[in-house]
A and B are shown apart, each in its own frame.
Chain A
Amino acid sequence: MILHPFSHDRYTLLKVDGLSVSFETAMGMVQAAQDICFQLQEGETLALVGETGCGKSVVASAIMQLLPGNASVKGRALFRGKDLLQLSERDMARIRGREIAMVFQNPSLALNPIIPIADQIAEPLQIHEGIPSDRSVRIAGDMLRRLGLGARGMGRMYPFQLSGGMNQRVMIATAIMLSPKIIIADEPSKGLDASLAREVMKELARVRDEMGAALILITHDLMLAKDISDRMAVMYCGQIVEMGSCGEIFKESLHPYTGALLNCLPEKGFVPIPGSSPSMIDPPRGCRFHPRCPICEKRCRGCPDMIRLNEREDGSAREVRCWRYSKL
């Protein structure tokens, strides 16, 4: 697991600025994500962590314009000078799978049950590069071998004949076929048992290193995130509450929620966070965590901005959304 230290000569691949997503549902307006800002450097791995339902998957889907029709998206996602959120469907289709690829949760459902896996892996080649099917399927076979699925006749197998871990690898293979600049992995280890999860993560990291791609890892598993990520953004109730390098965060977390989250880990004693997750339709006023925060103050009833601390020369910094670090 190579951790890439920040360096001057890498450039910013993706800059997400003020991204907000809300859904109109029968029960009201769900504010799934609010004011999300982060940057992704070339070759870097950023983990979006948080509990289930905090909006991390929504952020990823928003960047790829894969949200359902009842979503309204605000903000910008700049990739190579273009705002991804403003692109037409046709232009976006050219970027998906080729420059930015996504790996879904639930691999067994995300693959078409009646098409052999080699054909599904070969599809990006056929669509984006126009490579004829026999050649692309052969290339797909090579890719399968790279990911450890090189047994004879494996390519003609169907997803239902393979295990969850194998299907996950098929999805990863599909994602990396065209060597995308950014891979977004949405809960790649969900539903897999611990050892299998580690295997898949190892695979992901290996592939990322071989290709030099940037990786956005979305997960609720902090330890898994720490293993292969450079930086981490902690999300709560649709907002990023803390961001920084993994080492920094684990050594000393700044936001009370991050601290509480770390305490939930088995190593720290499975300490639960009091209270229950807030509603996204009617979130708490002010700081969204304040009803459950052990060090809540009066000013927490107002919305805190994202505060940058410890600015380094390369432009990176620790960021935290908490009044306690406000200079006011």
Chain B
Amino acid sequence: MSLAGKKAIRYILALFLIASLNFAIPRLLPGDPLTNLLGEDVILTEGSAQELRLKMGLDQPWSYQYLEYWRSLMRLDLGYSFHLHRPVSGLISDRMKWTLLLAVPPLITGSILGTILGALAGWRRSCRSQKVQTALFLAIYCTPPYLLSLIVLYLFAFQLGLFPMKGFYSTGSIQDIVHHLFLPALMMTLFTLSRNYMIMRGSVLQEKSSLYAAFARAKGLYDKEILFRHVFRNALLPIITLLALDFGFILSGALFIEIVFSMNGMGSLIYDALLSRDYPVLQGSFLIITIMVVSANLLADLLYSRLDPRVRWQ
């Protein structure tokens, strides 16, 4: 079977597994499956509880439930949040756009900046400014993202009053939105930047002592010409997959940053659902997030096979 075929199977399997996990968890874990499915915050009389059990098919054999589960997934029905009185899919689609607005532009900027700065850092001999830069990004890399956000929020919003403390209203003006988004987007960018920086720096450090880099130098290329004409591409390739795998971590980081800055995106949704043990929301969110991460990985994989001629011509 071709390599592409094998990979496709893996992705499909991954999605399948996760969806099944989603099905299995509330039913397998300790506690009443009904509560597990509805959430802890819901108060029911015994009569309506029974009614619901029947309606949700909890008395049916698992095979039936499993099929029903898939059927509803195909209908994009992720369940109903009794806590918030809305279907989960509606909630998620509302919130997701804010999360994407917060996460995607900084992700792109941070990745590009981080890769270039990291490449330069890996390339140059350590000057004073380089040492400081690397130490700074290293420190950011080691700090949990929400912590840095807390401190920054405290300093700039609380103490200095430069930025608003709480999240924004979705009907605000563009200026208003930007004002609210600035700090979290900055945090997000720094976070992505530092991770890309460290990874790219390591890759360039490794590649720069390769023979083709020496030959490029022997051809008369000078300094950064060698870096950007040769080493950069070779260093970037092996880490594309690494960066793609990192996407999951970065997305999680985005959620935490949202929580700290009280943005109304997926992060706050999940946080509130956690506090009230609103399981349907938790499950739906998990599913959606995982699908996004898996898709990102798939994209990266495809990108990699296009970029690396050795893979293309297998």
Give residues of chain B (206-221) contacting chain A, Cβ–Cβ below 8 Å: 210-212, 214-221
Q: Tell me, rounded to whole Å, the shortest Cβ–Cβ distance linking B238 to chain A.
A: 11
Q: Tell me, rounded to whole Å, the shortest Cβ–Cβ distance linking A133 to chain B.
A: 11
Given A110-B212, A161-B313; A127-B218 close (CB under 8 Å): no
Given A110-B214, A114-B237, A127-B225; A158-B313 close (CB under 8 Å): yes
A1 to B51, CA, bound (A): 99
Question: Which A residues lie within 8 Å of B308 (CB)?
Answer: 114
B223 at the interface (CB under 8 A from A): yes
Are the C-beta atoms of A112 and B214 separated by less than 8 Å?
Answer: no
Are the C-beta atoms of A158 and B218 separated by less than 8 Å?
Answer: no
Question: Which B residues lie within 8 Å of A106 (CB)?
Answer: 211
B233 at the interface (CB under 8 A from A): yes
Question: Which A residues lie within 8 Å of B214 (CB)?
Answer: 66, 104, 110
B234 at the interface (CB under 8 A from A): yes
Task: Return the chain A residue nearest B219 by Cβ.
Answer: A97
Q: Which of A114, A115, A174 lies in contact with B219, CB distance below 8 A? A: A174
B309 at the interface (CB under 8 A from A): yes
Give residues of chain B (199-244) contacting chain A, Cβ–Cβ below 8 Å: 210-212, 214-223, 225, 229-230, 233-234, 237
Are the C-beta atoms of B220 and A109 separated by less than 8 Å?
Answer: no
Give residues of chain B (257-314) contacting chain A, Cβ–Cβ below 8 Å: 307-310, 313
Most buried by A among B211, B308, B310: B211
Are the C-beta atoms of A114 and B233 separated by less than 8 Å?
Answer: yes
Are the C-beta atoms of A94 and B212 separated by less than 8 Å?
Answer: no
Are the C-beta atoms of A112 and B212 separated by less than 8 Å?
Answer: yes
A113 at the interface (CB under 8 A from B): yes
Question: Which B residues lie within 8 Å of A97 (CB)?
Answer: 218-221
Are the C-beta atoms of B216 and A112 separated by less than 8 Å?
Answer: yes
Are the C-beta atoms of A89 and B223 separated by less than 8 Å?
Answer: yes
How many chain A residues touch B (CB < 8 A): the figure is 30
- The dominant DSSP class at the B interface is helix
Question: Which A residues lie within 8 Å of B313 (CB)?
Answer: 158, 160-161
Task: Return the chain A residue nearest B229 by Cβ.
Answer: A123
Task: Return the chain A residue nearest B215 by Cβ.
Answer: A110
Chain A, residues 118-156, CB within 8 Å of chain B (1/0): the string is: 000001100110000000000000000000000000000
Question: Which B residues lie within 8 Å of A127 (CB)?
Answer: 219-222, 225
Are the C-beta atoms of A89 and B222 separated by less than 8 Å?
Answer: yes
Are the C-beta atoms of B219 and A104 separated by less than 8 Å?
Answer: no
A112 to B175, CA, bound (A): 48
A106 to B218, CA, bound (A): 14
Question: Which B residues lie within 8 Å of A268 (CB)?
Answer: none
A174 to B216, CA, bound (A): 10
Q: Tell me, rounded to whole Å, the shortest Cβ–Cβ distance linking B226 to chain A.
A: 10
A96 to B216, CA, bound (A): 10
Are the C-beta atoms of A158 and B310 separated by less than 8 Å?
Answer: yes
Are the C-beta atoms of A113 and B219 separated by less than 8 Å?
Answer: no
A48 to B294, CA, bound (A): 58
Are the C-beta atoms of B230 and A66 separated by less than 8 Å?
Answer: no
Most buried by B among A89, A95, A98, A123: A123
Task: Return the chain B residue nearest A128 by Cβ.
Answer: B220
Question: Which B residues lie within 8 Å of A124 (CB)?
Answer: 219-220
A-B contact pairs, 21 of them (CB 8 A): A89-B222, A93-B221, A94-B220, A96-B219, A97-B218, A97-B219, A98-B220, A101-B218, A101-B219, A104-B211, A109-B210, A111-B212, A111-B215, A113-B310, A114-B308, A123-B219, A127-B221, A127-B225, A158-B310, A160-B313, A171-B215
Top 3 A-B residue pairs of the complex, sorted by shortest distance between their CB atoms: A97-B220, A93-B222, A97-B219
